[in-house]
Structure 1
């Protein structure tokens, strides 16, 4: 037996004299004609059965629980990073599209033609072609023989007559060339082909009257 049971037995044994005295008093009361009436204790009435309502079904269209709000400054930083990434992706895409466009132009164009078509500088086009492994078409240079073949002899003959007339008027070579509307190379070619002896410089036009000399 443990200490707890031993303590309870000791308390019961301590109450034995009182129970014995109570039993003697009860017996003396009954001998004198007294009666003991046993009263009925309170009856236990169980509580009524509680009917719980059936659980409600969750609405499929119910709004989701709100997410915890993040601080405004965190939202701004995140949005700024997202926009920076989007701009970088857009620049990369535009650069690739430009490279592909220039690559296609290089298949049929020279540098000069690509400059006129795109507005980009020659250095930009050269660096782009070198970095991406493509080349532009070479420019076709016309030889002197081809230039001679393209000369309009009939036009040269008309220009030669005009140049002779300008010579008679006393115009300088540069004035005659500008009046004829031709280049310096074409002017020189016409002089050589038609044997025109045009003086290289005139002090004054032939049709201007000379000022008389003053006598001392």
Structure 2
């Protein structure tokens, strides 16, 4: 690296020698050489930073108190929202009951949903659908002649002690239709409206 710079300096020697001869000839003719001052470094002016600003807290805005009209409007909005929620719940209940009606009877739907029969009937009318019909698998009970005779004797005993038809049917464990059939079959004239004695006392007399 040093040898390269030295060779460059040596290459400039003829130019410096020529420049020195020209300067000497210029001075002999009375000329002057003015040496200009080189560029001077001036530091940049000092920068003055502005003082930091203090953060000012904004006053909290207090919401104005609602007026009477505002409260009334808010009540109307809340009332409409409650009504909308009620209608939505009713529509959901109607659709769920509609789906149950495709496969269930009224009795089965009552057990499934816990809803009353009247509520299910009202929903069916409003929704325009029907529940599956109930299948009555009960076969009519066949009674023998001996059973009819025995029940007829008990009916006559109930008539003598003066108990009502309803109490007599309860004691026999028969339906209204069967009770009337026995009355007609054996010609028993049983009063239709008779206020009988206490049921316990009637049982005791019937057993005696």
TM range (shorter): 0.3 to 0.5
TM-score by length of 2: 0.45
* TM-score normalized with structure 1 length: 0.43
Highest RCO, 1 vs 2 (Cα 8 Å, sep ≥ 6): 2
